[in-house]
Amino acid sequence: MKARVLSGVQPSGNLHIGNYLGALKNWVRIQHDYESIFCIVDLHAITVYQKPEELRAKILEIAALFIASGIDPKHSALVVQSMVHGHAELSWLLTCVTPVGWLERMTQYKAKTQAIETIGDGLLQYPVLMAADILLYQAAIVPVGEDQSQHLELTRDIAQRFNSLYGATFVMPATNLPAVGARIMGLDEPEKKMSKSAAGAGHAVALLDPPEVIRKKIMRATTDSQPGVDFETMGAGVENLLAIFQAFSGWSDDQMKPHFTGMRYGDLKKQVAEMVVSQLEPLQARYREITADPAYLAGVLREGAERVTPIADSTVRLVKERMGLYTP
């Protein structure tokens, strides 16, 4: 039996080339080696206020972008979290075995609540819901970025606590897949990982940015004061541009070095921009095809939910039984 892999993405912000090169492209490559579930975590998104119409559009956008990127919905389940009741239900059951202190200690909770006045309880519960996503399907592997490793550790802690209170129930999920994706940094601040929520207009190239916008953003990317590319001494900005080119082109180091050594930054940026534009063009064309047929997308999401619901239901039932709830 193939190992089950699960990951989740929030339907907020714009998916960008960092998401694509760092995660999505890799998932596409390995999806057939696993039983894969990709979850669009709308219940997580609403832990901070979302405009309803925008949220609904975003859920469909993310689903279409996943398919356009090469996720095969016939093999991998594309699941809108709120369409499968088990996520919310298991989340409550796990909440009851989770000490509040564990949640108050989470660094993302502390960071998020610094910026807002009224802190919704959902923000505190966020990591429990994520644990529920993972444990609901007894996922063996959860490919996420480093920023999520504290949440994953908490997932294991919750699973362990449940197991010790009620008997062996949950499989311990492994941290990660081996990191093979590229780590793409912000174009305007190459010391920081490219982020969906960063404010700078030139920070990220979104997967749906039109060619002119892509070119403009890349031409404005931060470099350094050296005259041209030097692989020994280059700063983070130049390194990032080269990483973007290499990840999209698939060139080897032996191809990269002679081609770019000594190149002026203006020329480097033009070549990076053209590479990105040419690689995103087919993806964007597929995206337009997919979104032109709303019935197709609705069918994929319905089918995704139908496929995983039996797994979710059997986990919830088992957990209820273990906890002594009435399960005739």
Residues with catalytic annotation? 112, 193, 196
Q: How far is the CB of 250 from ligand TRP (least distance, A)?
A: 26
Residue facing ligand TRP at closest CB distance: 8
Question: Nearest CA to 309 among 55, 152, 82, 93?
Answer: 82
CB atoms within 10 A of CB 292: 10
Q: Whose Cβ is closer to ligand TRP: residue 150's or residue 291's?
A: 150
Give SS3 for 40: strand
DSSP states along 240-265? HHHHHHHHHH---HHHHHHHHTT-BH
Which position among 40, 60, 64, 134 is part of the footprint of ligand TRP (CB under 6 A)?
A: 134
Which position among 8, 73, 181, 186 is part of the footprint of ligand TRP (CB under 6 A)?
A: 8
Q: Which of residues 141-160 bind ligand TRP (CB under 6 A)?
A: 142, 144, 148, 151
Distances (CA, A) of 253 to 242, 245, 258: 10, 11, 9
Question: Nearest CA to 63 among 90, 81, 51?
Answer: 81
Which position among 24, 130, 185, 214 is part of the footprint of ligand TRP (CB under 6 A)?
A: 130
Q: How far is the CB of 310 from ligand TRP (least distance, A)?
A: 19
Distances (CA, A) of 195 to 175, 180, 254: 21, 19, 30
Retrieve residue 127's tokens. 């990591």
Which position among 42, 61, 89, 133 is part of the footprint of ligand TRP (CB under 6 A)?
A: 133
Retrieve residue 162's tokens. 């449940």
Which position among 5, 10, 162, 186 is part of the footprint of ligand TRP (CB under 6 A)?
A: 10
Q: Which of residues 41-70 bind ligand TRP (CB under 6 A)?
A: 41, 44
Q: How far is the CB of 210 from ligand TRP (least distance, A)?
A: 26
Interface contacts to ligand TRP, rule CB under 6 A: 6-8, 10, 41, 44, 130, 133-134, 142, 144, 148, 151
